[in-house]
Amino acid sequence: MFSKLLSTAAVVLAATQLVSAQTYTDCDPTKKTCPDDPALGTTVTVDFTKGANSLFKVADGTTLTYGSKGAVFTINKETEAPTITSNKYIFFGKIDVEVQAAPGTGVVTSFVLQSDDLDEIDWEWLGGDTTQVQTNYFGKGDTTTYDRGAYHDVANPQENTYKYSIDWTKDYVRWYINDAQVRELKYADAQSGTRFPQTPMQIKLGTWVAGRSDAPEGTVQWAGGKTDFSQAPFIAYYKSLTIQDYSNGVANAVKYSWANGSDGSYQSINVITGDASSDDETSSSSSASSTAKSTKTSSEITSIKTSAKNTLTTVTASASASASATASASASASASASESASSSGSETSAVADSSSSASATAPPASIPTTGGAMKAGFSTAAIGACLMAAFML
């Protein structure tokens, strides 16, 4: 098992290479005023066997095909990291994804939820590990501890299609494989809730190369070794998704608005509602037909405005086809350690000629791991592994 193969020396190496979150955000609402997040506000099913779906934006440099097994994510070279990101957010909810992971040592398949202030919930599959899948979570991009990752038994995920689910509420996160629960995170267990994922999130699906020739040693070890591209292509299939947006219990949500001075708590998020039959632009622009419903009390607002805000620096480094080796978006953005047990983390993967990112599986003190989260509409900007790991939005 991969979780048992990594040495203490590798863990130390990974820790020295990852000093910050593996994530990146275009606008952190806890630090400045940002645009409202468009809400999904309902339940939808996406069937990729029928082709592309308008709910998802394809990242720059990503080319997908579609067939009887769903959306086809193909990697032929180490700079490729095909990724798609939802253009709507959910504010708590349940997501079921049917996926067949990509094979190949060093190749990572990722299913990630990520918010504007770097809350994150993940599933990650290593192409060379035929017996396990990893889960992880992050709150506010904080990687100061390495006790969040977990491993779960699953037979040949690169050859079989399974349903992987995340049920996310203000009280808990639960992970399921084929409807069987394999893990639970309670609010209070995430540093008394301060590191519990609790802000509106996008859904990101993709694959990336952690076994790049220029990846940090700890990342390569976590991924199982260097990727042998003589065995390419490496293909993952995403068949379907069912997405339920709980909207924090508010009906007809059209937008999620962060209160000024938000500390990143779910109580500081306002749910903007409107006529469910009207489009998002009409609902959000008409103050007469839209009503802001706050999930916080006036005393909580006061507390939020007076509380100290978390600050987390995320750094991204440009990568180009001619640039010197940058860590693979997923790999470069994360080289952490992951516990071998049974939830999900931050993602980033740096790519030279295609945009990508990956989600990181944060580990306990015994296994270096890295993960790749996909940044919405991946640009050609890649996350430098030598810098503070950046995670995609």
Q: Is 339 a catalytic residue?
A: no
Three-state DSSP class for 74? strand
**Alpha-carbon gap, residue 201 to 347, rounded angstroms:** 14
CA dihedral of residues 26, 210, 104, 236 (deg, nearest 10): -10
Angle at 54 between CA 48 and CA 59, to 5 degrees: 85
**Alpha-carbon gap, residue 369 to 351, rounded angstroms:** 19
CA dihedral of residues 161, 4, 390, 354 (deg, nearest 10): -50
Distances (CA, A) of 308 to 23, 25, 188, 311: 22, 20, 20, 9
Q: Is 120 a catalytic residue?
A: yes
Contact yes or no for 219/78 (Cβ under 8 A): no
Contact yes or no for 122/112 (Cβ under 8 A): yes
Tokens 């955000």 appear where?
A: 25
User: What does the DSSP 8-state code read for residue 300?
Assistant: H
Nearest to 304 by CA among 294, 290, 314, 292: 294
Task: Determine how β-strand 253-258 pairs with β-strand 234-245.
Answer: unpaired
Catalytic residue (choose from 78, 80, 98, 120): 120
Catalytic residue (choose from 124, 217, 339, 347): 124
**Alpha-carbon gap, residue 308 to 228, rounded angstroms:** 48
Q: Which helix (H) or strand (E) holds 305?
A: helix 298-306
**Alpha-carbon gap, residue 391 to 326, rounded angstroms:** 15
Three-state DSSP class for 390? coil
Please tell me the total number of residues recorded for the chain in this structure: 393
**Alpha-carbon gap, residue 346 to 229, rounded angstroms:** 26
Q: Catalytic residue positions? A: 120, 124
